[in-house]
Amino acid sequence: MKILITGGGGFVGARLARQLLARGQLAGRPIQRLVLADQVAPPAALLADPRVEARVGKLLTQCDALRGEDVDAVFHLASAVSGECEADFELGMSSNLDSTRALLDALRARQQAGAAPTRVVFSSSIAVFGPDPAYPFPPIVGDDTLPTPQTSYGTQKLICEHLIADYTRKGFIDGRAARLVTVTVRPGRPNGAASSFFSGIIREPLAGQEGILPVDLDVQHPVGTVQRMVDGLIAVFEASREAFVGRSAITLPGLNVTVREMLDALEAVAGPAVRARVRAQRDERIAGIVANWPRGVVTPRAQALGLKADASFEDIIREYIADCRADNPAALAGLG
Active site residue 153: yes
Which candidate in 135, 153, 167, 320 is catalytic? 153
Strands (E), the chain: 2-6, 25-26, 29-30, 33-38, 52-56, 73-76, 118-125, 140-141, 173-180, 182-183, 211-213, 220-224, 250-251, 255-258, 278-280, 296-297
Determine the Cα–Cα distance for residues 310 and 202; give it in Å rounded to an integer.
16
Determine the Cα–Cα distance for residues 117 and 109; give it in Å rounded to an integer.
10
Residues forming a β-bridge with 152: none
* Cα within 13 Å of Cα(187), Cβ side: 20
Question: Backbone dihedral region of 208: left (phi > 0), alpha (psi from -120 to 50 degrees) or beta?
Answer: left
Determine the Cα–Cα distance for residues 64 and 325; give it in Å rounded to an integer.
41
* Residues tagged active-site: 153
